[in-house]
Amino acid sequence: MNILVTGGAGYIGSILVPMLLNKGHQVTVVDNFMYDQNSLSDACRFDNFQVVRGDTRDRSLMKQLITRSDIIIPLAALVGAPLCKKDPLAAESINQHAVEMICELASKEQQILMPVSNSGYGIGEDGKYCTEESPLRPLSLYGITKVKAEEAVLQRGNSITFRLATVFGMSPRMRIDLLVNDFVYRAMNDSAVVIFEGHFKRNYIHVQDVARVFLHGIENFEAMKNKPYNVGLDNANLSKIELAQAIQKQVPSFVYLEAPIGEDPDKRNYIVSNARLGATGFVPEWGLDRGITELIKGYTILRNARYGNI
């Protein structure tokens, strides 16, 4: 298949693109390389790899690239509430409008597989799992743009969306600003973290399994199309305190303290059911404990806080 991946040099794309190439697909990546990353250097050895330095908001460029694609995977986005708050115009134009343009330019025969965030669930009901039928109540501009982009993708048909849990794990384009990655980084470098509103829960998924779910979607497209799927670990609907405890088991010197006053600006608090995806036969390979072990090794190598989105 000819696969176009926007933002393919990012945190997820740097894992996904080599997987697609190893499967024999022809892969074209368009990325603006805004972080000066070299995360796809190893992909350059593949004859079936092409790379374009460009902006996904460039209509003429995207029209040209989409025309010769069988599958489009729009990963390009300003990811995370802080980054979107810092540049709201870019957040809307990249996260939402560029995806709407892809839907307009793509033919009905072309397939779209797109990641969105399960942060769209906002604040869930106590003790009740969020399913794909649960109401979407995004709390941040990031969540709002992702929900609107998902609407456009599902309305055009012949598409799949993946509502990703909070992603963790090592990647060639590393991000230390994701919650698990951040806590392990602090455990390794500061030995301590102050937690605000530690009872807030969310779900987690390893970046390797995120890449694998796209392969699963491609291979099972006809059975899965035209639906959203939660992508997370069934045994990792954890509070921030429970996450810190899991890290402490592997880094005994790690100390965490829940602040008696103050609040977290990120108000997301929900638990998620991943049953719909599980029913398609997808099984994650990476558990939280394995991912923490991987991050401990990774942070023995990486000691620079530039590995983040903001």
Going residue by residue through the chain, which has 310 residues, state the pLDDT in tens, using 9 for 90 and above: 999 999 999 999 999 999 999 999 999 999 999 999 999 999 999 999 999 999 999 999 999 999 999 999 999 999 988 899 999 999 999 999 999 999 999 999 999 999 998 888 988 888 899 999 999 988 899 999 999 999 999 999 999 999 999 999 999 999 999 999 999 999 999 999 999 989 999 999 999 999 999 999 999 999 999 999 999 999 999 999 999 999 999 999 999 999 887 777 777 788 999 999 999 999 999 999 999 999 999 999 997 766 766 6
Q: Is residue 114 part of a domain?
A: yes
55 and 145 in a single domain? The answer is yes
93 and 194 in a single domain? The answer is no
| Count of domains observed in the chain | 2
Q: Is residue 170 part of a domain?
A: no
Q: Is residue 257 part of a domain?
A: yes
Q: Is residue 306 part of a domain?
A: no
Query: What CATH code is carried by the domain that includes residue 23?
Result: 3.40.50.720
Instruction: Identify the domain containing residue 226 by its residue range.
Output: 2-165+204-231
248 and 218 in a single domain? The answer is no
85 and 224 in a single domain? The answer is yes
8 and 135 in a single domain? The answer is yes
Query: What CATH code is carried by the domain that includes residue 249?
Result: 3.90.25.10
Q: Is residue 174 part of a domain?
A: no
Task: Name the nearest CA neighbour of 53 among 91, 9, 20.
Answer: 9
11 and 89 in a single domain? The answer is yes
Confidence (pTM): 0.95
70 and 208 in a single domain? The answer is yes
Q: Is residue 87 part of a domain?
A: yes
